[in-house]
Amino acid sequence: MPPTRRRSAGLVALLAVLGLLGPSASAQASPVHSERLVLGRSVQGRPIVAWHRWHDGANRTLLVLGNVHGDEQAGLRVVRRLRRAPLPPAVDLWVIPSGNPDGTAADRRTNAHGVDLNRNFPRSWRRTGRGTTQWSGPVAASEPETRLLMRVVRRLQPRTTVVLHQPLSGVDAYRAKSLRLVRDLARESGLPVKVFDCRGGCHGTFTDWHNARTPGRAVTVELGATVPATQVRRVAGALLRVAAAD
Ligand SMILES: [Zn+2]
C-alpha cells in the first residue's frame, strides 16, 4: 500500500476516534465483515449454512430464515438480497438460506423423513397429521434440522428473528411477542398484518418455541404466491431497517 494511502487511512481512524467525522464517514471507516459457516447437516447430509455480516460494534442481532418449508422458495430470493444489501451499522446479520435443504431440493414442504419442521418444535407440540404434509413427527424435536435451529437460536440469542413463508401474504400477529415489531415490519414491507392461527391454534412452531424460550422476538412473514423482484427488495430492506431501529 502506498504511504499516502496509509497516512490517509490513519487520519480517518484518528478523526473517527476524536468524533470529528459524521456518522456516515464513521460507518465507511468500518468495513462490513462477512463469513460463511456450515452449522450442521440435514437428514440426507446436505449442509445447513449461515451467512454472517456485521460492522464492528454491531449489537442488534437479526436472524433471517429463508425457508423451513421446502416448497416455499421466494424467501431464498430475499436472503440472497440480504447477502449484498447495504447493512445498517447496528445490525449483526445472520442469514440461514434454508433450514430444510432436503425439502428445498425436492420442492417439498417436509424434510426427508416427511416431517413438517414447523410442527416439530418442543412448544405446545402435539402428535398430529401423520401421513400428511403437516406431520408433527414421532416426538417433539425428533428431526436434526429442528435441533440445529434450536442450537443456533440458543447460541445467538437473536434480538429479532424473521422466518419467511409463503403464500399467505402478511406479517403474523398470532401470539406476537411484540406487536410493534409486527406493525413496523408490515408498514415497511407493504404486507398487511394478519393472524395465522394454523386453523384453530398452532402447535410445535419455530416462532412459538423461540418466543417462549428466549428473550428475543420471532415473527413469521408470509410472502405471496408470486413475488415480484420489487417486493423481494422491499422486504429485505424492511427487515434491515426495522431490526436496526426497533
Ligand atoms: Zn410455510
Q: What is the distance in A from the centroid of ligand 1 to the CA of 146?
A: 14
Cell output for 74: 421466494
H, E, C per residue of 96-157: ECCCCHHHHHHCCCCCCCCCCHHHCCCCCCCCCCCCCCCCCCCCCCCCHHHHHHHHHHHHHC
Contact (CB, 8 A) for 59 and 158: no
pLDDT of residue 246: 79
Residue with cell 435451529: 149
d(CA 164, CA 149): 14
Q: Which residues does 191 contact at the CB level (< 8 Å), separation at least 6? A: 169, 170, 171, 185, 221, 222, 223, 235
Please say whether the beta carbons of 48 and 101 come within 8 A.
yes
Domain boundaries defined on the chain = 1-30, 32-245
Distance from Cα 166 to the centre of ligand 1, integer Å: 5
Cα of 176 from ligand 1 centre, angstroms: 17
- From ligand 1's centre to the CA of 4, what distance in Å? 54
From the CA of 69, how far away is ligand 1's center (Å)? 5
pLDDT in tens, the chain (246 residues): 333 444 344 444 444 444 444 444 444 558 999 999 999 999 999 999 999 999 999 999 999 999 999 999 999 999 999 999 999 999 999 999 999 999 999 999 999 999 999 999 999 999 999 999 999 999 999 999 999 999 999 999 999 999 999 999 999 999 899 999 999 999 999 999 999 988 888 899 999 999 999 999 999 999 999 999 999 999 999 999 999 997
C-alpha 37 – ligand 1 centre gap (Å): 24
The CATH classification number of 32-245 equals: 3.40.630.10
CB neighbours of residue 214 within 10 Å: 18
Q: Tell me: the pLDDT tens digits for 20-63?
A: 444 444 445 589 999 999 999 999 999 999 999 999 999 999 99
Question: Which residue has cell 419442521?
Answer: 117
pTM equals 0.88
Helix H or strand E segment including 179: helix 179-189
C-alpha 118 – ligand 1 centre gap (Å): 8
